[in-house]
Structure 1
Amino acid sequence: MKVEQIYTGCIAHAAYYIENNGEAAIFDPLREVQPYIDRAKKDNAVIKYVFETHFHADFVSGHLDLKAKTGAEIVFGPTAKPNYEATVATDGQFFELGNYKIKVLHTPGHTMESTTYLLIDENGKEHGIISGDTLFIGDVGRPDLAQHVIADLTQDKLARYLFHSLREKIMPLSDDLIVYPNHGAGSACGKNMSKETTDTLGNQKRTNYALRPDMTEDEFVDELLTGLTTPPGYFPKNVIMNLMGYQSLDDVMKKARHPLTADQFEMIAEQTQALILDTRNVNEFAKAFIPNSINIGIDGSFASWVGEMVSDINQKILLVTDFGREEECMIRLSRVGYDGTIGYLEGGFDSWKNAGKQTDSFRRITGEQLEQILQTEDLLLFDVRKRSEFDSEHLIDSENIPLNQLLANITAFPKEKPFVVYCAGGYRSMIAASILKQNGFDNFVDVSGGFNEIAKTTQLPKTAYVCPSTLL
């Protein structure tokens, strides 16, 4: 059976392209739809369907633009109530794609409309399941996202729906089926996803904690809900966009593709109170940057961190990028619903310097330099990694304020005492540093190589969090 996974690593997302006999279907497309259209053209195929496994929270789907550009029929599973023309399928309904068949399996739990699509080849053999966020490799979808959109749902209720969906719809299927999930490791839609992006259902039955056959419903709920972190703030906003509709990406890009001279850039920044978002490498940013800009590097989990750190999804944005990467940054912002880009600095940061505009800079130190400084100075240490990373190992006497909680805890950072910020490798600490600078903090440094470098190159004392129960 012809199934192609189209994986986008920066947001750990998998879309799927299926084609048979001149008809194609796209499952859970990203917002930039031209690559799917080009793929179908290569096969001389017509895109007949756009299947959605659920209303996504972590990205804005391309289903509406695909329908507008190709005439494809949008299909959701049972109980979905989109605010636009789409087919809401019934449980067990079949769709024909050439000589293939696609069967709808309603699998609520991650969300109420969550649906798994069973793929059946031209010989009538069941080939695999496109499982959306119902079943991942090594994990299942977190059940606490839809409750932020639908008031009478709780994560406990959704977890119990998911328990029954897995046991009544998924686990009875044949072990040789291939599981095609919507996400892999790095996605915030689960907590324990594998780096592998496909597997057999049989192997998942043997290895996935959530599919243990002897697990009771209460045990499942308890294990699934334990360890869930707060979902990113932009998730509910993406759900609403996918549910209600959104502006065409073509229109968003037309507004964003606006090259600005340094003078124009400066004037618009002052007049509109737009956020200056610098997407360059952290080391380049530290050397010199536009005052009050924040740094979220494009060569990292860019879109996810924008979603975490920029609370207003409608925020007007001015971009500073490496030359030639302007459009890439615009698209990656729009993937998570940030459609407010109103222009970019033409010629990159060099054009700002060449115009003689004011710049700021930021001091970074190595792990070895930190060790030397701490021999004579008493500095406060702030670790901006996730709590789980901090608990695993951290510098003694450091305080953990995860990056996504930095703004809520900004008063914990002193303005009268010098301090140090570090993360794992320097990417997140520079996001933190730029935001702290924007908020008036000047008396601190960050560690360029982060905790990884500190652990390798210094003898600074480290410790791990010890759960009190282990002391009994």
Structure 2
Amino acid sequence: MKIEQFFDKGLAHASYAIISEGKMALVDPARDPQPYYDFAAANNAEIVAIFETHPHADFVSSHLEIAQKTGATIYVSKLLGADYDHKSFDDGDELKLGKLTLRAINTPGHSPDSVTILLLDENGQQHAAFTGDALFVGDVGRPDLRESVGNMTAKREELARQMYHTTNNVFKKLNEEVLVYPAHGAGSLCGKNLSSDTFSTIGREKKTNYALQDMSEDEFIKTLLEDQPFIPKYFGHDVTINKAGAAGFEESINAVPRLENDAKLEEGILIVDTRPQAQYKQGHLPNSINIQEGGKFETWLGSIVGPHEQFYLIAENEAMLNSVIRKAAKIGYETNIKGALLTPANLPLTSENTDVEEFRINPDKYTILDVRNNGEVKSGKIFENAVTIPLPELRERKNEIPQDKPIMVHCAAGYRSAAAQSILEEEFNVPVHDLSDAITTFSKVTH
């Protein structure tokens, strides 16, 4: 038996390969299938099964592409209503993989169609649980993503109630030594308290996971629903893509139009400029947003830009351009790209410079805009009188910001505030400044 975890730091997504006697199964594969092909080849194994624990909201899966290439069978809950060829895999269903047995356990709560795959070793003993987004290290999956998308929809309170029964009737009853292999770790927006550890045991989770502690059903529902993070714009879009099955990864990337850097761009189409903020501030195009290439580019792209919104994509060099196209494809946004190009020579607009010391002395001369998430603001404002609008909501709520004074935008470290400045500066009649990473030199206001 061999179990391999593949971890994508950008989306904090974990997928798995399980091998026994030359047969290989995959659980929740990422958009790019190549690492799984390489792993199968390196281990002289044949991919025969692909498990989707549920239709994922935060990334596009390659399950259909892999099945079409290898002939492997896709296994999902019948509740998913999958549009592709598959076999249903629900409570009590089993699949033999070499000397191993993979058993389905329905675990609704994050989604109504969630399945956990319980791995039994060659002696029939419980060895590992591939829990998808139902059980994380330190958390359980949020219950508020399926109110309007998917084959089955459910209100958050209903799913929270289902999660209570899943935790008590399924996870708590597994053997304590069972390994927990979730689909996400810290940094994912599929929960609110995920650990940086990428695997655990049932025994550890029963001791340390807040959601597995003894509490009443009503108390559990209240605890689970409060303080969940924002929902990116693209989440519902990806549930729909994954229910249908996505097109091939490389063919989708290759279909993105590549433009010369002096190409005439169509007016009215959003431009996503991925260059470092210092370069962007020195010169950029009209109607552009600075979403910098970095560790969470795909999350912020899908949080700021809508899933049906076309955009041009600009990067500082060919390697960066290839990277951001691939990252856009991981969330199903490659078809939104009207054209991808390197930095144009003519960049007519510049951003306001920020005099941090002048602001430190005279903060009342500015309207301060805090674009951190609600949970961050709840833990303490940095400036008591700041207007608070989370970055993912800024394009829709910018009219709530007074324009009687210059604007000073801040976040927690400077990445989000750069994007926020770029969203506001072209349309506002007053100067828009970015406090950038200087925010770390200001103390948080305690409450």
Report the TM-score when normalising by structure 1: 0.89
Q: Which moved more, 1:196-205 or 1:245-254?
A: 245-254
Gaps of 5+ in 1: 456-461, 467-472
- The answer as to 2:266 corresponding to 1:270 is yes
For residues 67 and 100 of structure 1, do their structure 2 counterparts lie closer, same or farther at Cα, with a shift above 3 Å needed? same
- The answer as to 2:33 corresponding to 1:44 is no
The answer on whether the counterparts of 1:419 and 1:443 sit within 8 Å (CA) in structure 2 is yes
Q: Counterpart in 1 of 2:255?
A: 255
For residues 416 and 46 of structure 1, do their structure 2 counterparts lie closer, same or farther at Cα, with a shift above 3 Å needed? same
Report the identity percentage.
37
Q: Counterpart in 2 of 1:98?
A: 98
Q: State the SS of the aligned residue for 1:26.
A: strand
- The answer as to 2:410 corresponding to 1:425 is no
Gaps of 5+ in 2: none
Name the CA distance, whole Å, in 2 between partners of 1:210 and 1:2. Answer: 30
Name the CA distance, whole Å, in 2 between partners of 1:47 and 1:424. Answer: 44
Residue 441 of structure 1, CA deviation:
5.1
The answer on whether the counterparts of 1:146 and 1:153 sit within 8 Å (CA) in structure 2 is yes
Name the CA distance, whole Å, in 1 between partners of 2:19 and 2:372. Answer: 43
Matches within 5 A, 1:215-234: 215-234=215-234
- Report the count of equivalent residues: 444
Residue 77 of structure 1, CA deviation:
2.4
Name the CA distance, whole Å, in 1 between partners of 2:309 and 2:387. Answer: 33
Specify the code of the residue in structure 2 equivalent to 1:277. Answer: V
Residue 364 of structure 1, CA deviation:
4.2
Q: Counterpart in 2 of 1:363?
A: 352
- The answer as to 2:331 corresponding to 1:336 is yes
Q: Counterpart in 1 of 2:379?
A: 392
For residues 11 and 261 of structure 1, do their structure 2 counterparts lie closer, same or farther at Cα, with a shift above 3 Å needed? same
Name the CA distance, whole Å, in 2 between partners of 1:327 and 1:123. Answer: 47
For residues 20 and 367 of structure 1, do their structure 2 counterparts lie closer, same or farther at Cα, with a shift above 3 Å needed? farther
Q: Counterpart in 1 of 2:113?
A: 113
Q: Counterpart in 2 of 1:410?
A: 398
* 1:172-217, Cα deviation, whole Å (9 max, x unpaired): 11111111011111111111111111111101001111111x3121
* 1:151-182, Cα deviation, whole Å (9 max, x unpaired): 76211111111111221122111111111011
Name the CA distance, whole Å, in 1 between partners of 2:426 and 2:232. Answer: 22
Q: Which moved more, 1:125-134 or 1:440-449?
A: 440-449
The answer on whether the counterparts of 2:269 and 2:287 sit within 8 Å (CA) in structure 1 is no
Name the CA distance, whole Å, in 1 between partners of 2:90 and 2:445. Answer: 54
Residue 300 of structure 1, CA deviation:
3.4
The answer on whether the counterparts of 2:233 and 2:303 sit within 8 Å (CA) in structure 1 is yes
Name the CA distance, whole Å, in 1 between partners of 2:440 and 2:420. Answer: 17
* 1:251-272, Cα deviation, whole Å (9 max, x unpaired): 321221x4322332xx2x226x
Matches within 5 A, 1:47-126: 47-126=47-126
Once superposed, what is the RMSD of the aligned Cα atoms? 2.0
Q: State the SS of the aligned residue for 1:370.
A: helix
Name the CA distance, whole Å, in 2 between partners of 1:43 and 1:246. Answer: 27
Name the CA distance, whole Å, in 2 between partners of 1:172 and 1:163. Answer: 13
Give structure 1 regions of 4+ aligned residues with deviation exceeding 4 angstroms: none
Q: State the SS of the aligned residue for 2:49.
A: strand
Name the CA distance, whole Å, in 1 between partners of 2:187 and 2:320. Answer: 23
